[in-house]
Structure 1
Amino acid sequence: MGIKPAPSQTIVGSPLPNIPWQDRPADSSAVVWRYSQNPVIPRNLLPRSNSIFNSAVVSYNGAFAGVFRADDTRRIMDIHSGK
């Protein structure tokens, strides 16, 4: 019994021209790849932050809205929203 290839996928929807996109690096076959300018938000942007993670960002009313996890220097985690 062999492994079947995954069916091709098509995303149907309106294009989002304001969402930055970067083509997959030529030497990669990964399904998901890291944005070359990451981290977009530095880990120590806030005086008491140890790390900041941008979990989700969406286009919203002509701007961007996001959900972020920020760990402080005591490693206490908080979830924040931002625009």
Structure 2
Amino acid sequence: MNPFANRTLPLAGPAYDIVPVSTHNSNDMPVTAVALYVETGGTLSVVTAKGQTRQVAVADFSILPVGVRRVRTTGTTAGGIHALVLT
């Protein structure tokens, strides 16, 4: 039984899935992430859900709770990046 069936997708609730991210400078991910999980710290260069390019430093095993539609190759040194998604 799926406890999430027939529920509205809340941003405050758990993600439905976690998928590995392939970085790219111009292509968005298939689904906008509600957060990113990073295994190996470094710098992330992302395009937010709002369309802004941002760079942030993250530590090992971090969760970045911001909507992200692209993780850019240029400027990203962090590794083991996964998208938390609602679909």
TM-score > 0.5 by shorter chain: no
More strand by share: 2
Task: Give the TM-score range, shorter chain.
Answer: under 0.3
Which of these two proteins has the greater Rg computed from alpha carbons?
A: 1
Q: Identify the structure with bigger relative contact order (alpha carbons < 8 Å, sequence gap 6+).
A: 2
Q: TM-score, normalised by structure 2?
A: 0.22
